[in-house]
A and B are shown apart, each in its own frame.
Chain A
Amino acid sequence: GQNIDQPTEMTATEGAIVQINCTYQTSGFNGLFWYQQHAGEAPTFLSYNVLDGLEEKGRFSSFLSRSKGYSYLLLKELQMKDSASYLCAAMDSNYQLIWGAGTKLIIKP
């Protein structure tokens, strides 16, 4: 079956670095998405990886290893506004997104 796993909740300190992991099993693979969702709001796109390696975008970076079925989202210089849920989604061979349950990130001062 198809499956996405990510931690339910993480806590980090303002100014620090946090890494949110995601493992996936899909029928075929056409890329891995990360979305951010603040409480009560719509998910918004953060990143897309289809090739192995690290993609950096400001304070946020996303990494993919296709052979390991693994991705992570790295957030640097954490700010209070980064408190949100982070959703991992893998696209299967039918170009359908398989979504993880999301990781709730709590930032403490």
Chain B
Amino acid sequence: DVKVTQSSRYLVKRTGEKVFLECVQDMDHENMFWYRQDPGLGLRLIYFSYDVKMKEKGDIPEGYSVSREKKERFSLILESASTNQTSMYLCASSPRGGHTDTQYFGPGTRLTVL
């Protein structure tokens, strides 16, 4: 079974803090994604990566950066957290191959910025 894990289920940070969200997958997937999920809105793609050290901006990259130094790990960084970044953050991975491969999601990190 594919397993995608995220470093924290719940996180509370203060405005202006630097925040790191870690995601690890154990199935040797090439593709990894970071989304945020807010009530009444669909999943919104922040960044994605198709290979180590490779990153692409999604629909809402402002205020975020990412790092992929190893194939299994994809980190999301909030350089200076703001209250409008309070959200559920979901990491996903998928294998390369068919472009229609299923994305497998981690359990999510609910981030609250005070």
Contacts and interface: CB of A to CB of B under 8 A. Distances in A.
Most buried by B among A33, A44, A97: A97
Interface residues of A, number: 24
B41 interface: yes
Interface in A66-103: 87, 89, 91, 95-102
B44 A45 contact: no
B105 A100 contact: no
A50 interface: yes
A7 interface: no
B113 interface: no
Contacts of B104: 45
Given A30-B99, A91-B100, A97 B107 contact: no
B43 interface: yes
Q: Which range contains the number of B residues in contact with the other chain?
A: 10 to 19
Nearest to A50: B100
Contact of B42 (A31, A48, A87, A95): A87
Contacts of A8: 40
B32 interface: no
A102 B43 CA distance: 9
Contacts, number: 47
Q: Is the contact region of chain A dominated by helix, strand, or loop, or is it mixed?
A: loop
A30 B100 contact: yes
A99 B43 contact: yes
A44 to B, nearest CB: 7
Contact of B99 (A42, A43, A95): A95
Interface in A16-75: 30-31, 33, 40-45, 48, 50
Contacts of A106: none
A31 B101 CA distance: 11
Given A42-B105, A42-B107, A43-B105, A102 B42 contact: yes
B90 interface: yes
A12 interface: no
B83 interface: no
Given A42-B4, A45-B104, 4 more contacts: A40-B108, A95-B99, A101-B41, A101-B42
